[in-house]
Amino acid sequence: MTARVFLAALAAAALFAASSFDSEIAEWRKSREAALRRDGGWLTVTGLFWLREGPNRFGKEASNEIALPDGPARAGAFTLRNGKVTAAVDGGIREVRPDSDDLVKVGRLSLYVIKRGDRYGIRLKDPQSRYLREFHGLEYFPANQAYRIAARFVSEPRKIPILNVLGQTESDDCPGYVEFRLRNRDLRLYPVLEEPNAKQLFFIFRDQTSAKETYGAGRFLYADLPRDGKVVLDFNKAYNPPCAFTPYATCPLPPKQNRLPVRIEAGEKTYGH
C-alpha cells in the first residue's frame, strides 16, 4: 500500500469514526428528550404530598389533604399505618408499594407512593402538566470526543453519604472510584449503585460550569460497569436531574468527592422552569 493510499484510508476511517460518534450523540439526545416528554415522564410530575399517619383523603375538592386538579370531588383516601400505605378507591382497599409501578388512577391523573428516608409521599403525574406544555427543548455543548474518556477503575467498595434536596442523607453503595486526567488535572469520581444488581454506574457530580452554563445542583451521568479495569465516561451524555424540570422531584446531590475543580464543557446545559 502506498503512503498516499494509506493516508487516504486513515483519513476515511477518522471521518467515519467522527460521523459515527456524532450520530450516536444525536440519537442519545433524541431519546433523552423523548423520555422527558413521554407519558409519565418527569415533565408530567406536578405535585408531591407528604402523608401523615392515618387516612389522607384525595380528590378535586379543596378540603382534601391531597387536592387534585381532576377527578371526583372525593375520590378516596391513602392510609399510612406502621410503614404501610393502602389506598381506598373505587369501593376497594389495596396496598400500594412505594417506589414501584403501583399506581392509583383518578381521572386523567396517576398517583404513586414514594418513600424518602422515613417519610412517605404521593407523587402526582398529570399528562396535561404545564411543565410539559411549556417545555422548550434542551440545549447542549457541542459534541466533543475529547470528553469521552477511558478512566481507570479502582475497586474499593464502601458506603458514601448522599444528601438529597429534602435535606435527608442516605448511605449508598459505592463500588470504588474512577481516575482520569482532564485539562491537565488528575481527577476522581465516585459512582453509586442504584440497586444491588445494577448494570450501570451512576455518577452525581458538579463542575466549574455548575450554576453558570449548567444546572446549579450538578448533573447526572451513567456509565457501563468496569471492563478490564476501565470505565468509559462520556460527558457528552451528562444531563440535568429531574429537579431542573419540576419542583416536585427529590433529587440526590453530588457528594463532596464529586465536586470537580475543572470545567466540563460537554453534555446538557441548564434549563429554567
Question: Domain end: 105, 133, 161, which one?
Answer: 133
Predicted confidence at residue 196, as pLDDT, reads 87
**CATH assignment of the domain containing 46:** 2.60.200
Same domain for 171 and 87? no
Instruction: Give pLDDT tens digits for 87-143.
Output: 999 899 999 999 999 999 999 999 999 999 999 999 999 999 999 999 999 999 999
d(CA 141, CA 232): 19
Give domain status of residue 84, yes or no.
Answer: yes
Considering only CA atoms, which of 172, 192, 272, 187 is closest in space to residue 235?
A: 187
Q: What is the average pLDDT across 58-78?
A: 97
Integer-rounded Cα Rg, in Å, for the chain is 22
d(CA 90, CA 56): 16
| Cβ atoms of residues 137 and 157 within 8 Å | no
Instruction: Give pLDDT tens digits for 200-218.
Output: 999 999 999 999 999 999 9
d(CA 29, CA 23): 10
List the grid coordinates of 174. 459505592
Same domain for 147 and 123? no
DSSP 208: T
| Cβ atoms of residues 87 and 94 within 8 Å | yes
β 200-205/219-224 pair status: antiparallel
pLDDT, averaged across the chain = 93
Is residue 79 pLDDT above 50, yes or no?
yes
Chain mean position to CA 37 = 14
Range of the domain at 109: 42-133
Is residue 53 pLDDT above 90, yes or no?
yes
Instruction: Give pLDDT tens digits for 170-202.
Output: 999 999 999 999 999 999 999 999 998 999 999
Q: Which amino acid is at 122?
A: I
d(CA 74, CA 170): 36
Percent of the chain with pLDDT over 90: 90
Predicted confidence at residue 14, as pLDDT, reads 46
d(CA 48, CA 168): 16
Same domain for 125 and 64? yes
Same domain for 240 and 166? yes
State the total domains in the chain: 2
- 223 pLDDT band, cuts 50/70/90, is very high
Is residue 38 pLDDT above 80, yes or no?
yes
Same domain for 182 and 101? no
Same domain for 246 and 170? yes
Give domain status of residue 13, yes or no.
Answer: no
CA angle 237, 238, 242 (to 5 degrees): 120
Is residue 273 pLDDT above 50, yes or no?
no
Q: Which amino acid is at 46?
A: T
List the grid coordinates of 11. 483519513
Considering only CA atoms, which of 48, 264, 228, 272 is closest in space to residue 146?
A: 264
Instruction: Give pLDDT tens digits for 146-156.
Output: 999 999 999 99
Considering only CA atoms, which of 185, 175, 169 is closest in space to residue 255?
A: 169
Same domain for 164 and 230? yes
Give domain status of residue 248, yes or no.
Answer: yes
Same domain for 238 and 160? yes
Question: Domain end: 82, 103, 133, which one?
Answer: 133
DSSP 34: H
Same domain for 203 and 162? yes
158: number of CA atoms within 13 Å, CB side?
10
Is residue 268 pLDDT above 70, yes or no?
yes
Same domain for 122 and 76? yes
Q: Which residues pair with 66 in a beta bridge?
A: 58
What ranges in the chain are assigned the alpha helix state H? 3-37, 130-133
Residue 8 or residue 106, greater confidence: 106
16 φ, ψ (degrees, to nearest 5): -65, -45
Question: Domain end: 133, 166, 198, which one?
Answer: 133
Same domain for 171 and 96? no
Q: Tell whether pTM > 0.85.
A: yes
Instruction: Give pLDDT tens digits for 15-36.
Output: 445 679 999 999 999 999 999 9
Give domain status of residue 20, yes or no.
Answer: no
